[in-house]
Amino acid sequence: MISGFKEYMNAHAITFTDDEMERIIGAATITTLKKKQFLLQAGDVCRYKIFVLAGFLRMYGIGADGEEHIMQFSPAMSWTTDGESYNNRIPSNYNIEALEESRVMLWTKDSFEELVKAIPSLKRYSDKLITQYLNLSRNRLYKTISATPEEKYEDFLKNYPGILNKVPLRMAASYIGVSLKTLSRIRQAQLQRV
């Protein structure tokens, strides 16, 4: 699985030397999460920058109405964290939960900051990831307020291919910000067109 991380980093980042890659990997804790196990619960401080080696995670909050609002899905070979909680060491408003058994790499804030100071290319890569995440978040917010439910659904399928085989429809509805009834109607209409 670590070889998958190396391949991912070399494909998506600035190339790292073997020594730099070993240092990055050596600073991580690798752990397995059971299905429905939390890596972060609302009210706790997010202590890790997280890379998903295998499995599937979700980040979500609970609204005042008691409804779940999914902010992010994190499939294998992707990064996640609650950046505000992690960077400012403040309690999180979100939960990070394994939707299936998952293997993750975890870096504490202190260990990752040490790595960034020692490996300038990791700093550039981290900055690039943050910029990409901000752009994705801005685009998602824009689509949330401007797109039709059908457009939101199509965008969701494009960004998370095969996801409906992994998550219940209610989670997909939560992520795209439509009711389960609306999403069911959209899917039914789509199936009738095929």
19-52: pLDDT as tens digits: 999 999 999 999 999 999 999 999 999 999 999 9
- Band (90; pLDDT cuts 50, 70, 90): very high
Q: What is the dihedral of CA 89, 117, 4, 155, to 10 degrees?
A: 60
Q: Decide: helix, strand or coil at residue 11.
A: helix
Given a cut of 80, is residue 2 above it in pLDDT? no
Q: Residue 164 has what pLDDT?
A: 86
CA distances 44 to 47, 48, 85, 91, 170, Å, are 9, 12, 9, 5, 26
Q: Which residue shows structure tokens 């989670």? A: 171
For residue 98, give the nearest of 3, 167, 22 by alpha carbon.
167
Given a cut of 80, is residue 178 above it in pLDDT? yes
- Band (13; pLDDT cuts 50, 70, 90): low
pTM of the model: 0.90
Q: Which residue shows structure tokens 């959209």? A: 186
DSSP-derived secondary structure for 91-156: B-S-EEEEEEEEEEEEEEHHHHHHHHHH-HHHHHHHHHHHHHHHHHHHHHHHHHHHS-HHHHHHHH
- Over residues 133-153, the pLDDT tens digits come to 889 889 988 988 999 999 999
